[in-house]
Amino acid sequence: MTVAMKEIGLGFGSNVGDKVANLHRAMELVFSRGPIEFLAASSVWRTAPWGFVDQDWFANACAVGRTEMTADEAIAFTQGVEADIGREKTFRWGPRVIDVDILYLGEERVSSERLVVPHKEIFNRPFVLAPLAEIRPDLELDGKSIRRAAEAAGSAGLSRLANPWKPAVS
């Protein structure tokens, strides 16, 4: 039985320590460990905190790849990357050394206590929409355009901070 490759969209965020280095390290781990083939990464964006706002600013970026993983396999994989970088669960929307969110996974639709795919807050978060529109402007999720959503969300509180991460050439 052949398992079909599907596109996976990932959101990365950090507001503890060297934020840009944390994002780049997470991308390096995600794309060097094998189950996700790298396609593209956005610039790193400086963004205001969301949810719990009494904390330091965030660095955010998005990346897309291809994978054969199921949603359950993907969440276990991304949580392993977070743990390897030193993520400690505190409180919802609190400070974190790294956060790796699954934004979408091909056409899969998942709604469980552990995971919702596509990510249920994707269209409410300018810090996801801006970097995702940079690399996948023509993407539509549930009939909604990422480009149009990013334009509607505007750029208040967002600024480009660093160039996109690129995988090491071997």
Tokens of 118: 């596509």
Whether residue 54 lies in the annotated active site: no
Whether residue 18 lies in the annotated active site: no
Q: Please tell me which residue in 18, 72, 92, 99 is annotated as part of the active site.
A: 99
Q: Please tell me which residue in 25, 54, 56, 96 is annotated as part of the active site.
A: 96
CB atoms within 10 A of CB 122: 22
Whether residue 96 lies in the annotated active site: yes
Q: What does R_g of the chain's alpha carbons equal in angstroms? A: 15
Whether residue 87 lies in the annotated active site: yes
Of 88, 109, 108, give the one whose Cα is nearest residue 99: 88
Asked if 45 contacts 23 with a C-beta cutoff of 8 angstroms, the reply is no
Q: Please tell me which residue in 66, 84, 101, 125 is annotated as part of the active site.
A: 101
Q: Please tell me which residue in 18, 54, 84, 87 is annotated as part of the active site.
A: 87
Type and span of the H or E element at 12: strand 6-14
* Amino acid letter for position 57: W
The residues annotated with a catalytic role in the active site are: 87, 96, 99, 101
